[in-house]
Amino acid sequence: MCGFVGLVSPGKNEAEHARSAVAAALRCQRHRGPDESGTWQGDEVVWGFNRLSIIDVEHSHQPMPWGPPEEPGRYTILFNGEIYNYLELRAELTSKYGARFSTDGDTETIVAAYHYLGPAAVARLRGMFAFLIWDSQRKVVFGARDPFGIKPLYYAVGPNGVALSSEKKSVLALADTIGIRPALDRKALQHYLILQYVPEPESLHGDIRRIESGTSFTIRPGGKPVMERYFPATFRPRAVRGESDENRLYDEIAEALRDSVAKHMRADVTVGSFLSGGIDSTVIAALAKEHNPDLITFTTGFERSGFSEVDVAAESAAAIGVKHVVRTVTAQEMMDSLPLITWYLDDPVADPALVPLWFIAREARQHVKVVLSGEGADELFGGYTIYREPLSLAPFEKVPGALRKAMGKVSTKIPQGVRGKDLLRRGALTLEERYYGNARIFMDDQVRAVLKTYDPSVTHMDATAQAYRESANWDPVTRMQHVDLFTWLRGDILVKADKVTMANSLELRVPFLDPEVFKIASQIPSELKITKDTTKYALRKAIRDIIPSHVINRRKLGFPVPIRHWLKEEMHDWSLQIVAESQTDQYIDKAAVRRIIEEHRSNVQDHSRRIWALLVFMLWHGIFVEGRISPVVPEPHYPVKL
């Protein structure tokens, strides 16, 4: 787990300047790899790397040269992530092709696989990754990002070259070098206010984009990245007839999870696990305990009643038999830390849960260097409560289209807060119109009220259209899962997981997001994912003998953060101060923002998530656009608690 910077076609006359520019760009992502840092320069590229040593700690230094015996040093690779099947791949490459390796790590396994298998090698990698390989013979860069988008990869194309990096702030640092002047993208801002994150491949700087999940690419000197999607994430539900078929499916799910966790435990450093009160993190921790009897688990909560899973997590830890560490977060800590966390994020993400996650990651880093977590289970196995919506809206599907539209118009006449208003509104819409992921922050009229440059042609469907096209013939629940895989999961869940853990030089691994786990999850028929009584039905059945009984049927809480209360009380004056000091008047109607802050305080309407989204954007703007806010970024330092 690390961070890298790559510069393609910097120009031979600018070689020395380019190398020093890359070294400077590395410094602002020092937290991603505090163990060692280095740069390398080839004919057409400059590579830079910060390393967090996890596997083959004493070796596997990067940028790493590699080549077959007849062409030593032909390739040079930058790699961020972990390949969990690297031992099996090394053995295969050695036996079939006579591949030779000089380290015991996974990095040279990637480049060797590329040499012998070509671009198809990327589909053989089981792990989380973003990498760049320079082929000095063919004069081409080959790179890829993992199937689900666990590891980030930003890029920008300018007249003086292409910059790529694990963090956007490093690309910003190279803007002058490649000849671009990144400016705020108003379309991306509108998407952010709708979704609470900026959807891929956008970033809030229009000239800087993201390589999408499940995508490989090539870059030739003087050219732009040429993309190819290698992982379409296709769901193929299989027929399940009778109890024996069901039990076979549940056994396969359990076996896939057990194998994934076993491979995710591969490391030359200590591995711990996050543990909440839900089934996802609990099953991961229980399976990890099979490989590490001294496993330490970590959870976070709040002092406010009703907003903590600490007690349930502690009960689960006791049942599993692991040491458990708890970190309680206060409103004042959230306020004090938010500017620094926003700096780490690169782009605003208005998910309040990322702040307590940052604190527990900081605590965990004092005990371990790697943690496992349960992200991805909901998207793969049907865990979100909203996935049950097609059941409740099924009667509307039988209503003729014209009548459904009329029902939608009737819903607009019903006063806000009247029961049934939103059901009628959503029932009048098609799935494509109504569903765009788990976060629905600003409705159209609300965006129009706060955004000075509202564009009615910019909608959530910009982000979801491709996923809906690809899933046109699937059932509604599976289509919702597919949309979330390419929007919510990689735009919110995995961004916060990567950014706030790496901010603390902590590697986070997600065993649910494994190609082999997806392979079996993609075969679950809809009726075994969602029932009228529960979500993740098949997963619950599969792990019933693995996790404690008090967890198996718990209602999903979704890691609630008490900002609804805090924005009325402890955070009220703080939020008004952020609005007053922000220089976002050209984008945001600040009078409208102050109005919704006061409406929220007076219990007129719960605006907490909308207020939070605006505050995070204003802090982001103060850091990355105005330069008015300069969080003090600590040097990586980890005193270990014994």
Give the pLDDT confidence of 481-539 residue by residue, as tens digits: 999 999 999 999 999 999 999 999 999 999 999 999 999 999 999 999 999 889 999 99
Residue 379, domain extent: 242-383+486-552
pLDDT digits (tens, 9 = 90+) for 123-159: 999 999 999 999 999 999 999 999 999 999 999 999 9
Are both 390 and 438 inside the same structural domain? yes
pLDDT at 421 over 90: no
CA distances from 116 to 59, 133, 230, 535, 620 (A): 23, 14, 18, 44, 44
- Judged against a pLDDT cut of 50, whether residue 302 lies above it is answered with yes
Q: What is the pLDDT of residue 555?
A: 64
Within a domain: residue 52? yes
**128 and 9 housed in the same domain:** yes
End-to-end CA distance of the chain: 24
- Reported as a pLDDT band with limits 50, 70 and 90, residue 642 is very low
Helix or strand holding residue 391 (H, E):
helix 389-392
Among 376, 379, 382, 378, smallest CA distance to 527 is for 382
- State the Cα–Cα distance between residues 47 and 107, nearest whole angstrom: 15
Question: Which of 20-24, 363-367, 422-426 is predicted with the least confidence, judged by mean pLDDT?
Answer: 422-426
CB-CB contact of 218 with 142 (8 Å) = yes
Whether 237 maps to a domain, the answer reads no
Please indicate, yes or no, whether residues 26 and 138 belong to a single structural domain of this protein: yes
Q: Please check whether residues 370 and 391 belong to one and the same domain.
A: no
Decide which of 503, 518, 552 is a domain's last residue.
552
* Mean pLDDT (whole number) for 456-480: 95
Query: By three-state DSSP, how is residue 222 classified?
Result: coil
Segment 15-25 mean pLDDT: 89
Same domain, 306 and 405: no
Residue that wins the pLDDT comparison between 202 and 548: 202
Q: Which residue has the higher pLDDT, 291 or 404?
A: 291
Dihedrals phi, psi of 596, to nearest 5 degrees: -75, -25
Annotation: binding site for L-glutamine: 106
What distances in angstroms separate CA 58 from CA 8, 89, 615, one per listed residue? 29, 21, 44
Helix/strand/coil for 567: coil
Q: Is 2 a catalytic residue?
A: yes
Per-residue pLDDT band at 11 (split at 50, 70, 90): low
Mean residue pLDDT of the chain comes to 93
Average of per-residue pLDDT across 31-39: 93
Distances, alpha carbon 329 to alpha carbons 123, 333, 348, in Å: 41, 6, 21
Backbone angles phi, psi at 336, to 5 degrees: -65, -35
Q: Is 293 inside any structural domain?
A: yes
Residues 493 and 391 in one domain: no
In this predicted structure, the answer to whether residue 50 has a pLDDT above a threshold of 60 is yes
Contacts of 98 (CB under 8 A, 6+ apart): none
In a domain, 631, yes or no: no
Q: Which of 524, 552, 580 is the last residue of a domain?
A: 552
Over residues 428-447, the pLDDT tens digits come to 888 999 998 887 899 888 99
Instruction: Kindly state whether residues 490 and 392 are assigned to the same domain.
Output: no
Contact by Cβ (8 Å): 619, 353: no
What is the total count of domains within the chain? Answer: 4
The model's pLDDT over 352-385, given as tens digits with 9 standing for 90+, comes to 999 999 999 999 999 999 999 999 999 999 999 9
Annotated binding site for ATP: 373-374
Q: 625-636, pLDDT tens digit by residue?
A: 999 999 999 988
Measured CA to CA, the distance from residue 638 to residue 233 in angstroms comes to 38
Between CA 492 and CA 353 the distance in angstroms is 10
Asked if pLDDT for residue 639 goes beyond 80, the answer is no
Sequence-distant (6+) residues with CB within 8 A of 400 are none
What's the CATH code of the domain at 299?
3.40.50.620
Q: Which residues, in sequence order, are CB contacts of 640 under 8 Å at separation 6+?
A: 366, 367
**Domain contains 636:** no
Residue range 578-603: mean pLDDT, rounded? 97
Residue 23 in domain:
yes
Q: Check whether residue 144 and residue 266 sit in a common domain.
A: no
Determine the pLDDT at residue 137.
96
Do residues 516 and 126 lie in contact, with contact meaning Cβ atoms separated by under 8 Å? yes
Mean pLDDT in residue range 209-218: 98
The answer to whether residues 102 and 190 belong to one domain is yes
Residue 578's pLDDT band (cuts 50, 70, 90): very high
Asked whether residue 638 is domain-assigned, the answer is no
Q: What's phi and psi for 559, nearest 5 deg?
A: 55, 65
Domain-located, residue 585:
yes
Is pLDDT of 6 > 60?
A: yes
Residue 324 tokens read as 């458990």
- The predicted pLDDT at position 306 comes to 62
- What is the distance between the alpha carbons of residues 37 and 35, in angstroms, rounded to a whole number? 7
pTM: 0.95
Domain end call among 199, 229, 259? 229
- Report the SS3 class of residue 281: helix
Q: Are residues 378 and 428 in the same domain?
A: no
Q: Based on the domain organization, do 391 and 312 belong to the same domain? A: no
CA angle 127, 272, 196 (to 5 degrees): 65
The verdict on 219 and 98 lying in the same domain is: yes
Question: What was the pLDDT predicted at 120?
Answer: 97
Section 64-81 average pLDDT: 96
- From 1, 2, 219, 463, the catalytic residue: 2
Q: What is the CATH number of the domain that holds 6?
A: 3.60.20.10
